[in-house]
């Protein structure tokens, strides 16, 4: 099963993608997490993307797409995977289509959370890129760059909207039910 989790920053998509991947026994692929690992190891790529991430901007498509493409060549992805945070732009979505070829995404989980909840959750998790100004910028970038993907996948009838509010366990159960 090839799944994509889409949701605004703070929607809990990373947490839920990890939990559902665990349940389904498939890898969880988070481009944000991959970038954070590069930053913490101080690799060349990490140094290149750190400032962008900390200001709430996206990493250029070319860099992100190349990293993801590499990941999808690894053997563990054969039975399926959950993509979390990629694609985030229409250009990335088109690239993903090319990468997946004749075995495209099966379903797109869209996590829906109110704006007030998003800000509160991000301030609570206290990640390096979670300061008030950056959060506002990330929400703007999400609206302009990533929200259009919901239309892109809705036109293929792939979207499963899931209420992302309430206790973590309940949200996981809602997603599992949407996938059944």
Can you tell me whether residue 165 is helix, strand or coil?
A: coil
Candidate ranges 31-39, 71-79, 109-117, 157-165; the one touching ligand AMP (CB under 6 A): 31-39
Q: Does 153 bind ligand AMP (CB under 6 A)?
A: no
Q: Least separation, in Å, of the C-beta of 86 and ligand AMP?
A: 4
Q: Least distance (Å) from ligand AMP to the CB of residue 82?
A: 13
Looking at 84-92, 98-106, 118-126, 153-161, which segment touches ligand AMP (CB under 6 A)?
A: 84-92
Buried b (16+ CB within 10 A) or exposed e, 39-52: beeeeebbeebbee
Query: Binding of ligand AMP at residue 52 (CB under 6 A)?
Result: yes
Helix (H, G, I), strand (E, B) or coil at 20: helix
State the minimum distance, in angstroms, from the CB of residue 180 to ligand AMP: 26
Q: Tell me: does residue 35 bind ligand AMP (CB under 6 A).
A: yes
CB of 31 to ligand AMP, least distance (A): 4
Residue 86 in contact with ligand AMP, rule: CB under 6 A: yes
Nearer to ligand AMP by Cβ, of 143 and 177: the residue is 143
Helix ranges restricted to H, 56-147: 61-71, 90-100, 115-125, 132-141
Task: Please report which helix (H) or strand (E) contains residue 108, including its range.
Answer: strand 107-112
C-alpha of 166 from chain center? 20
Cα–Cα distance measured from residue 41 to residue 50, given in angstroms and rounded to the nearest whole number = 11
- Helix 90-100 to helix 61-71 angle (10° resolution) is 30
Chain residue whose CB lies nearest ligand AMP: 32
In the complex, which residues of this chain contact ligand AMP (CB under 6 A)?
A: 9, 14, 30-32, 35, 52-53, 58-59, 64, 85-86, 88, 92, 138
């Amino acid at each position: 099963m090839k799944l994509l989790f889409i949701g605004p920053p703070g929607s809990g998509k990373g947490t839920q993608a990890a939990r559902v991947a665990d349940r389904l026994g498939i890898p969880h692929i988070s481009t944000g997490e991959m970038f954070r690992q590069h930053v913490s190891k101080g690799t060349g790529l990490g140094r290149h993307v750190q400032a962008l991430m900390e200001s709430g901007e996206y990493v250029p498509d070319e860099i992100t797409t190349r990293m993801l493409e590499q990941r999808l060549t690894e053997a563990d992805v054969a039975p399926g995977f959950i993509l979390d945070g990629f694609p985030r732009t229409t250009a990335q979505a088109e690239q993903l289509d090319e990468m997946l070829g004749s075995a495209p995404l099966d379903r797109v989980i869209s996590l829906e959370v109110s704006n007030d909840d998003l800000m509160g959750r991000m301030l609570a998790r206290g990640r390096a890129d979670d300061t008030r100004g950056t959060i506002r910028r990330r929400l703007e970038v999400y609206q302009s760059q990533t929200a259009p993907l919901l239309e892109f996948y809705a036109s293929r009838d792939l979207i499963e909207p899931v209420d992302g509010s309430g206790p973590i366990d309940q949200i996981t159960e809602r997603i599992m039910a949407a996938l059944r």
